[in-house]
Structure 1
Amino acid sequence: MTLKERFLQYVGFDTQSDESSTTFPSTDKQLVLLRHLAEEMKALGLTEVEMDQHGYVMGTIPATPGCEGAPVIGFISHVDTAPDMSGKDVKPQIIENYDGGDIRLNDQLMMYVADFPELAFFKGHTLITTDGTTLLGADDKAGVAEIMTAAEYLMQHPEVKHGKIRIGFTPDEEIGRGVDHFDVARFGAKYAYTMDGSIEGELEYENFNAASAKLTVNGRNIHPGYAKGKMINSLQVLCDLHALLPEAMRPEATAGYEGFFHLIGINGSVEKASASYIIRDHDRKLFDEKKELMTAAVAFINKKYG
């Protein structure tokens, strides 16, 4: 099976994770692809293939003769797709020999080079896009397909010398829980690489510190004709809190190593509302300061409104 064929097969699995779920994995549908991958590894001849009680799938490409003493290398990808948009009934569009221009996804949606200048880099390549109604799922089924295709190649070409290689597929990465039950010792790799990047050939060796903040506001709903001095509008309270966070520390105003507060969701009514944030920074001291600032903003709002 080619890399493209394998990728198109995997995006056919709906593996969307669910941040509101209390189970692990957060959705049972992730297990369908994980079981499929375990069976596919067995069919390719990999050894030590298993799926544990948490849904993690691991397998081994045995060392070639004479390389048994080499350090164990691992390759990891996650199978889930983001909760932000549906990953069901994906309809991939294949663009052969891309001309470098704007891409039509459907009758209403276009990808404009002006908005995504990095598209120019892929002129002449084959592109795979969504039709605009769902996620494509390339994050990270592209990584899954890369690993499985490489595994197939190595199993069929024993002349390529290598030590023991461990493969791991995980659920729930998109909601920040992917490592919660990952058994590092059982995986047994001296070094491991996550195949979840962007540009071909790019190697990332650093990571940011990340936290989530979930806020709930209990307001007081009064008929607007009699609300003066009585109503507490939960939505307005959240707006007041958001205004306390530095505008220059939002994703749209930051780059590189600059940290941010990212408001990813706000829901509710006058009586009750909630908001969700992502807080990130590469620098641990600045990261802790951002968490402290969020806590101080909440304390200020609580004092203001009671």
Structure 2
Amino acid sequence: MLKNYHFTVAERFMQYAQIDTESNHASTSFPSTEKQKDLAKLLVSELQQMGITDAKMDEFGYVYATIPSNTTKQVPVICYCAHIDTSSDCSGTNVKPILHKGYNGNPIVLPDDPSQILTIEQYPYLKEHIGNDIITASGTTLLGADDKAGVAIIMEFAQYIMQHPEEKHGTIKLLFTPDEEVGRGTEHVNLAYLGAQYGYTLDGGEAGHLEVETFSADAATITIYGVSAHPGYAKNKLVNALKIAGELLSILPKAEWSPETTEKKQGYVHPVRMDGVAEKATIDFIIRDFETANLAKYEDRLKHFAETVVGCHAGASFEMEVKQQYRNMYEVLQHHPKVVEYAEEAYQRTGLVVRKEPIRGGTDGSRLSFMGLPCPNLFTGMQAIHSKKEWVGVKDLQLGVEMLVHLCKIWEEKTLN
């Protein structure tokens, strides 16, 4: 651990966790919820108190800040990034973080809902934290470690670096983004203003995990058009779009091609939302695979299913719209090996065994990589994310801070000029 440094990252995280920053898929504004700016404003204030004078929040809720270089070397500008919003899959309102000191390995019953119990059998990574402190919510909400653990690690790192000028580093940029959980985290980011050459998101799980591969992702919307008629006089007239939508969902493969039946590098097509009336119904799908070329194959197959079902109903029709969401970051990172190599060395200096794991999902780093900022994903310790059983180990938060200190020093050391 860092010498002669008193960590406050756990307290910092618990403070951030209590601020409701849940984002909203249905919103058309940006950020999707104004309350995300409550945390953004706090971060700006804390950064300025550290002496980071240019810290600011822009109109969209992004937080930008610069830690100036303290070396004569021309070190590449590195950005550390985390997202401030939490998922709407589980309530983020009135989060009550609980610090469990000296975890003893026994089941943890969350007090506000005793049916929510954490066990080693369900979460084997808890074994790594026996004897150490862990943080949970109280049982009725998520915790928000995704990604306030990343936010807290970066903020603690910034405080450490500002207090320890003897640690040599190049220019460091900090970026906190809204709306990552609704897939819009980089929609209005100003990379020209940020001015970084390489980046790292802190949005990963177990200590030691280093993520350089993500899914490639598209979204598809199928709109089914039926024929409306008064239900009292509908015989041989009504064509119910909702029933057709139900038929389409019912013929999707049940033993493969879905999140509940796939793992590792297997892709899927997943219906996430349905809405409509008898005359018109829409189904939203997310489409995922590690091989970008497979997305088009999945989309053709999905369209074939729709054609088959809709074709059985005279008078019905459909449209299918596909939108690109993000692409596998490895397609970019393989051309910038040092950004990954330096992260591996930072893990090793922190005493961690590096484990490269593909993400069955995406991060802001996926989009940032394709926007010109090569950006692998680093660990934070977050576990059981998007659920009432979400938890994070204090040891992992502290290791994350130490790892970032090593990482910025490695970039300075390996710059020769």
Give the alignment of 1:106-185 within 5 angstroms.
106-185=113-192
**Residue of 303, 306, 315 corresponding to 1:295:** 303
Distance in 1 of aligned mates of 2:120 and 2:228 = 47
Shift in alpha-carbon separation, 1:219–1:91, aligned structure 2, 3 A:
farther
Distance 2:162 2:145 in 1: 25
The unaligned stretches of length 5 or more in structure 2 are 1-6, 317-417
Q: Summarize the alignment of residues 1-306 of structure 1 with structure 2, pairs less than 5 Å apart.
A: 2-67=8-73, 69-105=74-110, 106-217=113-224, 232-247=239-254, 248-266=256-274, 273-305=281-313, 306=316
Distance change >3 Å, CA 56–CA 289, structure 1 → 2: same
For the residues of structure 1 that align with 2:304 and 2:298, how far apart are their CA atoms?
10
**Contact persistence 2:267–2:289 (CA under 8 A):** yes
Worse overlay, 272-281 or 7-16: 272-281
> TM-score when scaled to structure 1?
0.90
Q: What SS does the aligned partner of 1:213 have?
A: strand
Cα separation, 2, equivalents of 1:244 and 1:86: 32
- Contact kept in structure 2, 1:220 and 1:230, CA below 8 Å: yes
Q: Which one-letter code corresponds to 1:76 in the other structure?
A: C
Contact 1:101 1:120 survives alignment (8 Å): no
CA distance in 1, matches of 2:279, 2:102: 54
Tell me how many residue pairs correspond in the alignment: 305
* Amino acid aligned to 1:167: L
Per-residue deviation at 1:144?
Answer: 0.3
8 Å contact kept, 2:276–2:282: yes
Contact 1:47/1:62 (8 A) holds in 2 = no
Look up the SS of the partner of 2:246 in the other structure.
Answer: helix
Could you report, residue by residue, the CA deviation over 1:106-160 in whole angstroms, capped at 9, with x for unpaired residues?
Answer: 2232234333333333323311111221111111000000000000000000011
Offset, 1:216: 4.5
SS of 1:75's equivalent in the other structure is strand
Distance in 1 separating the partners of 2:310 and 2:193: 46
Which has the bigger relative contact order, CA under 8 A and spacing at least 6? 2
Task: Give, in whole Å, the separation in 1 of the partners of 2:15 and 2:92.
Answer: 13
SS of the residue aligned with 1:166? strand
SS at the partner of 2:131? coil
Aligned-residue offset at 1:201? 2.2
* TM-superposition CA deviations, 1:3-34 (whole Å, max 9, x none): 01110111111111111111111111111111
Shift of 1:225: 9.6
Moved more, 40-49 or 119-128: 119-128
